[in-house]
A and B are shown apart, each in its own frame.
Chain A
Amino acid sequence: MTAAGAAGLRTGRVVVVGASLAGLRAAEALRDEGFTGELTLIGDEPHEPYDRPPLSKAVLSGRLDSDHIALPRVRDIGARWLLGTPATGLDVPGRRVELADGRSLGYDRLLIATGTRARRWPVQAGGGLEGVHVLRTREDAERLRGALAAGPRRVLVVGAGFTGGEVASSCRELGIPVTVTQRSAAPLAGALGGVLGRAAAEWYREVGVDLRLNTTVQALEGDACGRLRRAVLSDGTAMPVEVAVIATGAVANTEWLAGSGLAADHRGVVSEGDCRAVAGSGRPVEDVFVAGDVARWPHPLYPGQLLRLDHWDNAVAQARTAAYNLTRGPDERRDHQPLPAFWSQQFGRYLKSVGVPAVADRVVVTQGALDQRQFVAAYGLKGRLVGVVSVDSPRVLDGYAALIEARAPFPPRLGATDGPDRLEPVDAGFPGRAAGGPQEHDIRTPSALAPAQTAHR
């Protein structure tokens, strides 16, 4: 790249579609990288960027109002913001984004950061009833919080992934009786496997959640006014319920890309290691980049599959890499290859994960014990350490993260003082891995890793 060419990449028009965590951080990073051109952020939500993790935790429990979760803007970006303005189409050769209000916007380089949305319950099975909720946006959280404040006799949470667990936990904090259905034999099993999942089942039961494992919901039934009244479960029982929360995973917001020629579907937009979007032909598209929950890309630590991480940490890091590459020529670009990391807070516990436990075949407790409040579990795949989960032990993870990045052997050799005398790895117990059945999905599960990629609840 010539000097003039490189300078050219710091000017011109950049459009960012999706004005949330990844979109905002990418815009800020673009200015940090010296981009002085015209910057436009397009977002369909009417709000300035806000943080989603507290929605299922502090906001739902009533400890934090939803107007107190706006993300700090860390620097001036001098951008044009089009909020409350959905993008409806993309013309790649013409370099234009179409908007719902009929306008269209030209760009020189584009960043796609449209994230995911909660998967909804089918309308024919009762999904359209009043009282059936999902949780992804401020409005969702406010609606659900209002429904909980009305003092329902029981809440049904469908799905015991991270979001389901956080919602159930918040309900119990409010003193509301909760039933949780989970299709597989343990909570969190799709992301963390059955061994950890069985430990998590105890957290549910300790606080009195009615946890129904190996159970699905067959129908949600309403009264004459269209209000939810009853849930029919797969075991044939029916239960009275006024509020249901569907927590069965996330779908990528890619409909607006239909016809654009990009490789995009409900699983996300496929991108190269350097965040450039890939066309249906398999070739990367110059000048179109992808970041955050909507991206699926090849990660060198987890070869042979495309990774989609619905994690806060990834949205921030990928936004930075995309901004870096947006302002540089082909020879200077770098690949996005962070060590995945996320946290969850449920039932008074602080769960943190590094690496990708979901690909593992074996697991071993390296510190503490599963039935204790604090423990650490290490995950291995074919003799290599690939992920680590800690419960109420946030300070140990950095050491493990370094081992994963160094491709350390599994079981890891640690010599931790609070570890068991002998490490005894067992089958990690991911549902469907041995039996060949489908793996479940939840947000914050790297869903693209699932062997059966179209398995939805």
Chain B
Amino acid sequence: MITQPPPQPLRLVVDLNRCQSYGQCVYAAPTVFRFHGEESLEYDYAPGDGVRREVERAAAACPVQAITLSGATEPAPVACGGGR
């Protein structure tokens, strides 16, 4: 039997240098992306798994491909004691 690694939580980042405020992502996933002011895009980097489909649609719909989704299956790194 093949066991899939557990999916990592949904994560994304938008390259705002590339983003041209077309708003396709806002339309595709309105709970994740929104405009603040006329043109400034704001978004949630970790929106929770319930909106994965919408976010994937948003990333695919972005005309300048400014949205990057997580692809790692490894567990998130953690600090081992210490700290500043």
Chain B interface, >50% SS class:
loop
CB closest residue in chain B, given A345: B40
What is the minimal beta-carbon distance from B21 to any residue of chain A, in angstroms? Answer: 5
Chain A residues with Cβ under 8 A from B42's Cβ? 54, 57-58, 63-64
Q: Are A72's CB and B69's CB within 8 A?
A: yes
B17 touches A352 (CB 8 A): yes
Mark B63-83 against chain A: 1 for CB-CB distance below 8 A, else 0.
000001111111011111111
Q: Is the beta-carbon distance between A73 and B17 smaller than 8 angstroms?
A: no
Q: A70 to B17: give the CA distance in the assembly, Å.
A: 19
**B37 close to A84 (CB less than 8 A):** no
A73–B72 touching, CB < 8 Å = yes
> Given contacts A72-B68, A352-B17, is CB(A83)–CB(B11) below 8 Å?
no
Q: Which residue of A lies closest to B77 (CB)?
A: A81
Q: Considering the complex, give the chain B residue whose CB is closest to the CB of A64.
A: B44
Which of B1-59 touch A at CB < 8 Å?
8, 11-13, 15-17, 19-21, 36-40, 42, 44-46
Q: Is the CB of A48 within 8 A of B74?
A: no
Q: Are B79 and A70 in contact (CB under 8 A)?
A: no
A15 an interface residue at 8 Å Cβ cutoff?
Answer: no
Asked if A256 is at the interface of the complex by the 8 Å CB criterion, the answer is no
Instruction: Given A71-B13, A72-B11, A77-B72, verify A48-B45 contact (CB < 8 Å).
Output: no
Least CB separation from B41: chain A residue: A350
Distance, CA A348 to CA B36, complexed state (A) = 7
Interface residues of A, CB < 8 Å — how many?
Answer: 51
Looking at A39-47, A175-183, A283-291, A414-422, the stretch in contact with chain B turns out to be A39-47
A48 near B20 (CB under 8 angstroms)? no
For B69, the closest partner residue in chain A by CB is A72
Do B74 and A348 touch across chains, with their CB atoms under 8 A apart?
A: no
The CA-CA distance from A57 to B69 in the complex, in Å, is: 22
Which B residues lie within 8 Å of A73 (CB)? Answer: 8, 11, 70-72, 74, 76
- Tell which of A44, A69, A74, A373 touches B72, judged by Cβ atoms closer than 8 Å: A74
Decide: B74 and A70 in contact? CB cutoff 8 A: no
Q: Chain A 337-358 against B: per-residue CB contact (8 Å), 1 yes, 0 no?
A: 0000111010011101000000
Question: In the assembled complex, which residues on chain A have CB atoms less than 8 Å from the CB atom of B77?
Answer: 19, 41, 48, 79, 81, 83
Q: Does A142 contact B (CB under 8 A)?
A: no
Whether the Cβ atoms of B71 and A84 lie closer than 8 Å is no
B residues near A19, Cβ cutoff 8 Å: 77
Is there an interface contact between A85 and B45, defined as CB atoms closer than 8 Å?
A: no
Asked whether any CB of chain B lies closer than 8 Å to the CB of A312, the reply is yes
Cβ-defined contact, A75 with B82, below 8 A: no
Q: Which chain A residue lies CB-closest to B22?
A: A395
Task: Report Cα–Cα, A341/B84, bound state, in Å.
Answer: 32
A342 and B17 contact, CB distance less than 8 A: yes
Residue contact B72 to A343, C-beta cutoff 8 Å: no
CA distance A372 to B8 in the complex (A): 45
A19–B8 alpha-carbon span in the complex (Å)? 20
**A331 at interface by CB-CB < 8 Å:** no
Closest to B74 in A: A76
- A392 B39 Cβ-Cβ under 8 A: yes
A409 within 8 A of B: no
Q: Any chain B CB within 8 A of the CB of A78?
A: yes
| Complex CA distance for A48 and B76, rounded to whole angstroms | 7
| From B17, B38, B79, contact of A83 by CB (8 A) | B79
Residues in chain B near residue A343, CB distance under 8 A: 16-17
Interface membership of A265, Cβ < 8 A: no
Inter-chain CA distance A75–B68, complex, in Å, is 11
Q: Which interface residue of B21, B39, B83 has the most chain A CB atoms within 10 A?
A: B39
Contact call A46/B84, Cβ cutoff below 8 A? yes
Binding site for A on B (CB under 8 A): 8, 11-13, 15-17, 19-21, 36-40, 42, 44-46, 68-74, 76-84
Ordered nearest first, which 7 A-B pairs have the shortest CB separation?
A348-B37, A72-B70, A81-B77, A84-B79, A72-B11, A73-B72, A83-B79
What is A's interface to B at a CB cutoff of 8 Å? 19, 41, 44-48, 51, 53-54, 57-58, 63-64, 67-79, 81-86, 100-101, 312-313, 316, 341-343, 345, 348-350, 352, 373, 392-395
Q: A83-B77, A100-B82, A350-B39 are in contact. List 8 more A-B contacts (CB 8 A).
A: A48-B78, A70-B46, A73-B76, A77-B74, A84-B80, A348-B36, A392-B38, A395-B20
Q: 27 A–B contact pairs at CB < 8 A?
A: A46-B79, A46-B82, A48-B77, A48-B78, A51-B13, A51-B45, A54-B42, A58-B36, A63-B36, A68-B44, A70-B76, A72-B68, A73-B11, A73-B71, A74-B70, A101-B82, A312-B17, A313-B15, A313-B17, A342-B17, A343-B17, A345-B37, A349-B39, A350-B21, A350-B39, A352-B17, A395-B21
